[in-house]
Amino acid sequence: MTRAALGVAVGLIAGLLSGCGDSQPTPKPDGKPKPAVASIAHGGQLYDKFWKVSDAPEPTATHPLWATRPDQESNKRVGSDTWRCKECHAWDYRGVDGAYAQGSHKTGFAGLFPSAASAAALTASLADTHGYREAGLSDVDLESLVLFLREGLVDTTKWIDGAGAFRGDAVKGKALYMNGLGGNKSCKACHGLDGLRPPKGAPADYGDFVGLVANKNPVEFLHKLRFGHPGSKMPAAVKGTGSMQDIADLAAFAQSLPKAK
Ligand code: HEC
Ligand code: HEC
């Protein structure tokens, strides 16, 4: 057997094994090697469904801190959803003081501002208090999250007004949407001129159109623009050279796009 054929055979056996028993990690959709070096961009993606961008399996149990949420009534989620940082601390990083102050995502947990904690204290909090080491996050994953917490958080109220509109120049934003933000591949190339084309790899019934997400959930939109959509080819703006103002301009244009076909 050649080396390549052996690799395929081993891969097949691993694939078969991972299909039996709940304790086996689920194979990653992209099958790509995970980053060897920590980065803010990776940390921002881990803030979401971390199992799509790390070797950690999707959790089956509910997060141990979930039972301590100050509001036990509003948010009835169980299982892996309760492990997403955003479910407890929100897309605007402001917890109970921000977009999750009410509604079906409210937990009553605090936000992440202001944080004067040292990198070591943050690492210990995430690895041990939060249980992410046991959940399967690696040192590079934890380091990336700490980088994101120390250098990647933005005050979303600076960029989005009280009515949910981006403080940006939609005319400038249109050019960035069409031509690319900070050297990244353009939104148009993957989402179409009007944001209604399902990107490659999206499910057939795709409905999370650019104009819809930008208007319905501006803070989630801002996070995904900056860090990409976990487990997809969507580029992270923080990896390009675009400024925060460029991102807000692009988002202001995105809010003018149609929300549905
Ligand atoms: C199940 C809910 C929950 C999830 C999920 C969660 N946290 Fe927390 N987080 C908490 C609670 C509770 C505290 C403690 C607040 C306190 O000190 O009383 C906290 C505190 C923090 C703090 C403040 C430092 C500290 O330890 O006091 C940071 C930073 C933080 N979380 C980041 C994150 C990140 C990053 C993730 C995802 C990798 C995450 N959290 C996921 C509930 C959660
Ligand atoms: C290389 C292709 C590519 C580029 C470039 C790209 N995206 Fe995406 N985008 C995707 C893919 C793939 C998804 C995930 C689709 C899915 O859910 O499977 C996605 C998801 C999204 C989502 C939905 C997020 C959600 O919560 O479901 C929004 C909004 C979005 N992109 C906006 C943008 C904007 C704005 C730009 C330009 C700054 C952009 N994308 C650039 C491929 C791309």
Residue 24: closest CA among 15, 33, 32: 15
The residue with tokens 């040292």 is: 118
pLDDT at position 83, please? 98
190 lines ligand 2 (CB under 6 A): yes
What is the four-CA torsion angle of 10, 16, 19, 21, rounded to 10 degrees?
A: -90
Does 229 contact ligand 2 (Cβ within 6 A)?
yes
Q: 164: phi > 0 → left, psi -120 to 50 → alpha, else beta; which?
A: left
d(CA 41, CA 235): 10
Tokens for 82, please give them: 């309760």
Nearest ligand atom owner, CA of 229: 2
Nearest CA to ligand 2 atom 15: 202
Instruction: Provide the pLDDT for residue 34.
Output: 78
Q: How far is CA 154 from the centre of its chain?
A: 14
| Distance separating alpha carbons of residues 127 and 77, to the nearest angstrom | 23
Tell me which amino acid residue 55 is.
D
Provide the pLDDT for residue 6: 41
pLDDT of residue 115: 74
Ligand having the closest approach to the CA of 222: 2
Q: Per residue of the chain (261 residues), give pLDDT as tens.
A: 444 444 444 444 443 333 333 344 455 666 666 788 999 999 999 999 999 999 999 999 999 999 999 999 999 999 999 999 999 999 999 999 999 999 999 999 999 987 789 999 999 999 999 999 999 999 999 999 999 999 999 999 999 999 999 999 999 999 999 999 999 999 999 999 999 999 998 988 999 999 999 999 999 999 999 999 998 999 999 999 999 999 999 999 999 999 999
Q: How many residues does the chain have?
A: 261
pLDDT value of residue 204: 81
Q: What residue's CA is closest to ligand 1, atom 28? A: 112
Amino acid at 182: G
State yes or no: cis peptide before 114, omega within 30 of 0.
yes
Q: Which of 246, 79, 228 lies closest to 166 in space, CA to CA?
A: 246
CA quadruple 205, 253, 248, 37: dihedral, nearest 10: 40
Which atom of ligand 2 sits closest to the CA of residue 186? 5
pLDDT of residue 231: 87
10's tokens: 């081993």
Position 151 scores a pLDDT of 93
> In this structure, are residues 113 and 153 in contact, taking their beta carbons and an 8 Å threshold?
yes
Contact 260, 212 (CB under 8 A): yes
Nearest ligand atom owner, CA of 77: 1
Contact residues for 78 (Cβ-Cβ < 8 A; gap 6+): 62, 66
On whether the CB atoms of residues 146 and 127 are closer than 8 A, the answer is no
* Centroid of ligand 1 to alpha carbon of 208 (angstroms): 28
